[in-house]
Chain A
Amino acid sequence: MARLTGMAATRPVVIIGAGIQGCATAFFLSQRGQSVIVLEKDHVGRHASGVNAGGVRRLGRDIAEIPLSVASMDWWNQIDQLLDIDRGFHRQFYVKVALDDAGADLAFRRIQQLHSAGFQHETWIDRDQLLCRIPHLTKSVFGGVLVEGDGWALPWKITRAFHDKAAALGAQFRTPVTVTSIDKSGEHWQVTTDAGMIETDIVVNCAGAWGTQIAEMTGDVLPIDAYAPMLVITDRQPMFLQSVVGVMGGTLSFKQLDNGSMVIGGGKRGVADAARNLTQIIPAGLSSFVMTAGRVFPHLRDVAILRAWAGIEGYTKDNLPIIGNGSQAGIIHGFGFSAHGFQLGPAVGEALADLAMARQTRVNLTPFSPHRFAVSPDQAAGH
């Protein structure tokens, strides 16, 4: 590379994908004076970044992911100043409740495991304290694992805000533009799209569920599976909840928005058709996680669901994201967040910006290395 470490490249960095990771990366690069072009095949925040459950949590994360999540929380705590927005982050607490002995057992083991790894942010809260803080919880709750200061944000609003701020700082967003090939040409890369070709030194792949295809264009075989986790939103109700609630041993996420409606996610997957940008709701799956919500908040019996939806998201084999340099110089990957990348967005944007400028990253990215899935193209073709 004919440029100095840590300095801005003269050609714009090309970011593929205008979800939260792509927009946050564009923001950090623009802030540092690096010119950026973001290519998005649909529109900003169209898929998982715009329509996820909006949980902003350190709670319950894979230990390998905690440092990145903690670093991201620093950004969340100053997100309003960072992006010139209002009430961008609803800092509350996040609790996974134990509904039975098995749940309580899981909770204790989890806390012990974190303690021995040197993390203290998850703590046990007993039944009485929990009912005091969330009076509408089922009276049969055992207690829960809690993180103070976790909360939620509106995914679309935050993704949009990163976009707006990056754009204000000079980032160019081109939508709807589809990348058709990425080719090495001497020292640099040629990114060919349905709206012309762009030459660049650095390509950042933030293409989410479509990340595999983009990686393939650069010669990297990084398989992920596209799934569509389902969510529902309810009618408005009087405010009763100032926290985000999940269950131990389950994947419920439950929150109440400012306008009184509740967003319920359950990790249950709908049908994802990434090739056609389509998702489909599976009624039985919806029913199952709504029932879990009922076990936690039985008083919501007559509350109406207004919409159910599913956003297309890319899942890796180990459920950890792919963040790091590709096998060829100038290619950087940041995708495969496996339905828990929203909170990581700001820190990932910062880290990808660091990689793009060949700077030392604040968080060790080794656990997320694309090379952990390394297979040769021949091997992949043999499958």
Chain B
Amino acid sequence: MANQHFQIAIIGAGPAGMAAALTTTKAGLETIVIDDQKGSGGQVYRNLLANQEASPAYLGKSYYDGTELAQSFANCGAVYQPDCTVWQITNTHEIALVSRGKAELITADYIIIATGAIERPMPVKGWTLPGVMSVGGAQTLLKQAALGADDAVFVGSGPLLYLTAWQYIKAGLAVRAVIDITGGKQWRSAIPYAPLALLQPDMLVMGREWLGDIRRNTEVITKVSAIEIIGQSQAQGVSCTLSSGDKIDIDANHIFLHQGVVPNVNLTMATGLAHQWDHQAHCWRPVIDVTGKSSDEQIYIAGDGGGIGGAKAAAIAGRLAASAIVARCGKPRFLAQLYYKLRHLHYLSIRPFLDRLYLPSADFRLAQTDETIICRCEAVSKAGVNAALASGASGPNQLKAFCRAGMGRCQGRGCGLVVQEMIASHTGQSMAETGYYRLRPPVKPITLAALASLEGPWPD
């Protein structure tokens, strides 16, 4: 693949990346799909083709809905490069890759970034203890390895949490409790958008089913004001304070946290594309036009990486971006673009409701106690971040130098939004004014030998 040029490079093989490839290959454009993971599907349809044979029912309809897309992608004729990480895109559209310890540079006329979402950090005391995982992580284990834990506690809010707890129940696992942090305030701000959400009746019906089954099968704790995970060398339980002031302690070795997903902006930001603060969803998103085109004429962004919409919206966004590119390559597809755009808007109609309902309160977005770790990589606590603010750090990048938050391997994926909001509430500036970490290549760590491999073999 060395020094190859492609007409289209798609980064990510989730619903958006797969769907985009279907459109570009059908138009006869030479397409490469670069996937950080070992198999296509992204997170939402992870391991979907491999799961066809046994087809465990507990994964539910929303998962198997992706089957046709995944199968078509497998046969679409795109060059598929799994287990391959993009660590930089230069302004001359050189894409730096690393796969199995070897780096390569490829170029493309058009790039579609479809790198999806990551979970919003949920910094509660003890969240670094072994045994505590994100709900997304727990779901991945279920999809990829048919692995689940009895007596786990789910903490947080949002569709992914309810879906995963529901999948656990359907898989015959005992769920110890679901601690739901959705508050009355969120309900009140979401309700006016419920009529719009009615345009997505399937989603609402599915959500009702999940929540109903959860309530019938496990204890659901609501009206929660504080969460703390207990344990020394691994998680032993959750201590949960109710708004009434009462405290509930639950023993558990497996605790799964989740409070929504946000666009994974590490690659788009490191590429220097324009971003904006999304007030409704409380996260950064790349600035894109109606077709998904970013601030760089040659780069499109499709799927949750351009703004959270879920799997179906992502697939349509992939089609839309790909059609726009196909049109620019001389094959006008105005009707197709219009059709995809309308369907995309239709899928997004539930977002104003969901974004408001599941935006966690500041109590949960920001850590509640001084000793809570904010930056997991560098083990910087809330007190550490506050000390840096007190000594004059006025923005996220200065704060890195003051206390090392955001300087670790994950490049701020686990702390960026929290640190940004702590700064904003300290300085009184808005989130947009406060800004985010200046992200640097490599977008993921790369070994010295892998980087040097662009020049030749590592010296012995």
Could you tell me which A residues sit within 8 Å of B by CB distance?
43, 45, 50, 138, 156, 160, 234-235, 271, 278, 280-284, 286-288, 290-291, 293-295, 298, 300-309
Contact = CB atoms under 8 A, between A and B. Distances in A.
Contact of A287 (B103, B440, B445): B103
B272 A304 contact: no
Interface stretch (B13-21, B88-96, B145-153, B422-430): B88-96
Most buried by B among A298, A306, A309: A306
A282 B96 CA distance: 10
B401 A156 contact: yes
B169 interface: no
B47 interface: no
Given A287-B455, A305-B451, A50 B88 contact: no
A308 B103 CA distance: 15
Interface in B408-460: 408-409, 411, 440-442, 445-449, 451-456, 458-460
B445 A291 contact: no
A298 B88 CA distance: 25
A294 B440 contact: no
A293 B407 CA distance: 22
B395 interface: yes
Contacts of A303: 447-448
A280 B91 contact: yes
A282 B448 contact: no
B398 interface: yes
Given A43-B394, A283-B90, A290-B452, A308 B460 contact: no
B452 A305 contact: no
Chain A interface main SS type: mixed
Best-surrounded residue of B409, B445, B448 (most CB of chain A within 10 A)? B448
B105 interface: yes
Contacts of B441: 281, 283, 307-308
Q: Give me the 6 closest cross-chain CB pairs, A-B, nearest first.
A: A287-B454, A304-B445, A291-B452, A301-B449, A283-B96, A291-B455
A287 to B, nearest CB: 4
B90 A307 contact: no
A309 B270 CA distance: 11
Given A291-B452, A305-B448, A283 B408 contact: no
A167 to B, nearest CB: 10
23 contacts: A43-B395, A138-B459, A271-B91, A278-B272, A280-B91, A281-B440, A283-B94, A284-B454, A287-B455, A288-B455, A291-B452, A291-B456, A294-B452, A295-B459, A301-B447, A301-B458, A302-B448, A304-B446, A305-B447, A306-B408, A306-B442, A306-B445, A308-B442
Contacts of A278: 272
Contacts of B94: 283
B408 A301 contact: no
Residue with the highest number of chain A CB atoms closer than 10 Å, among B103, B394, B411, B445:
B445
Chain A CB within 10 Å — which of B272, B409, B446 has the most? Answer: B446
A298 B96 contact: no
Interface residues of B, number: 33
Contacts of B90: 280-283
Nearest to B88: A283
Contacts of B408: 306
A291 to B, nearest CB: 4
A282 B105 CA distance: 11
Contacts of A300: 448
B440 A283 contact: no
B448 A293 contact: yes
A161 to B, nearest CB: 12
Contacts of A301: 447-449, 458
Given A43-B395, A287-B103, A235 B445 contact: yes
B87 to A, nearest CB: 8
Given A50-B401, A306-B445, A298 B451 contact: no
Given A280-B272, A284-B105, A305-B448, 12 more contacts: A43-B394, A281-B90, A281-B440, A283-B94, A283-B103, A287-B452, A287-B453, A290-B452, A303-B448, A304-B409, A305-B445, A307-B411
A50 B398 CA distance: 10
Given A235-B409, A304-B409, A294 B445 contact: no
Contacts of A235: 409, 445
Contacts of B452: 287, 290-291, 294
Interface in B241-282: 272
Contacts of A160: 401
A290 B105 contact: no
B260 to A, nearest CB: 27
Contacts of B442: 305-308
Contacts of A43: 394-395, 398
B458 A294 contact: yes
A308 B444 CA distance: 11
A283 B105 contact: yes
B409 A302 contact: no
Contacts of A304: 409, 445-448
B34 to A, nearest CB: 15
Contacts of A234: 448
Interface string B66-98: 000000000000000000000010110010100
Contacts of A282: 90
Interface string B386-414: 00000000110010010000011101000
Contacts of B447: 301-305
Contacts of B407: 306-307
A283 B401 CA distance: 25
Contacts of A306: 407-409, 411, 442, 445
A269 to B, nearest CB: 14
Contacts of B91: 271, 280
Contact of B460 (A298, A302, A305): A298
Contacts of B454: 283-284, 287
A305 B408 CA distance: 10
Contacts of B449: 294, 301-302
B440 A298 contact: no
Contacts of B103: 283, 287
Nearest to B94: A283
Contacts of A308: 440-442
B446 A305 contact: yes
A304 B452 CA distance: 12
B107 to A, nearest CB: 12
Nearest to A176: B394
Contacts of B105: 283-284
A307 to B, nearest CB: 5
